[in-house]
Amino acid sequence: MEIPNQLPLGRPGKTYLNTVNSRIVRLSGDVLQFTPILTEDKEIVELAGPEMSYKIGQVIKPKARYPFKINHIHKISNGVSPIGYDFTYARQNLSSIFAAPLLGGRRDLFLWDKNFINAFIATPDDEDVIALLYRFSGEPLFLKFEAALEAFRTFKYKIDTDSYHVLFVFDVPDGAKSSYDHFINSRYSEIDDIVKLKILDYHSFTMDGQTAKVLFKSPSLREELQDKLNCTIPEGNELHSVLDMNQERFDPDYYHTPKSIIERKKIY
């Protein structure tokens, strides 16, 4: 572990926890009171403060009846010093970008910025599926949304993965099976052209964006990657890394939020 700097002197000021979405809680206020504890790979595993700390695996409560598990800590900087930290429950994986749109619709219809966590192409019990993980809510909108998902022709089942999250599992739609197979084999450019456009439309991505450049094997992206990696990329190669199934398969341990709450653990 590495401790890059010392805690500032003086009485610490107030800090605030605000929910950005179901994946992110933001720490703001006097964040200079915290010392980031880093791994050898420069990943933050803990924010150590004079009166409290936040660490990977900890469950915090940014608002009433809202337990939130910290799986990643990311610094927000103004270029000189940190102005905040994002506590992340889940980083968006490739299944959320390429597989979720195969079910149809648009991101807003799937409560992407409200309850959606991540998508998966496998679970511990199933392969060749599309699974969507959500933060459960008892609000009428979410209950209606649940009923709508269960009415899909491809719907298989749902699982309450813990007390706060629910996983919906679907068969791959018939019209998307060839594109799905290309995706799970990391052949992004071989996805059917009409499905490529559906993926871009689902996310409101433009043809000039990174995802479109991957899907259509943009020469400019190849040049950019060659410069960045200082290597030659053959024209036949895909312009994105292969799938990491550790990220694309639902992991019930990683996503599990226990009922016991550890709020702002104090250091004595």
Hey, where are the domains in the chain?
Answer: 15-88, 94-178, 180-246
pLDDT at 10: 58
Q: Stretch 5-11: mean pLDDT, rounded? A: 53
pLDDT tens track for 252-264: 999 999 985 544 4
pLDDT tens track for 212-243: 999 999 999 999 999 999 999 998 899 999 99
* Largest pairwise CA distance in the chain: 63
pTM for the complete prediction? Answer: 0.90
pLDDT tens track for 15-56: 999 999 999 999 999 999 999 999 999 999 999 999 999 999
**Strands 127-135 and 116-122, bridge-based pairing:** antiparallel
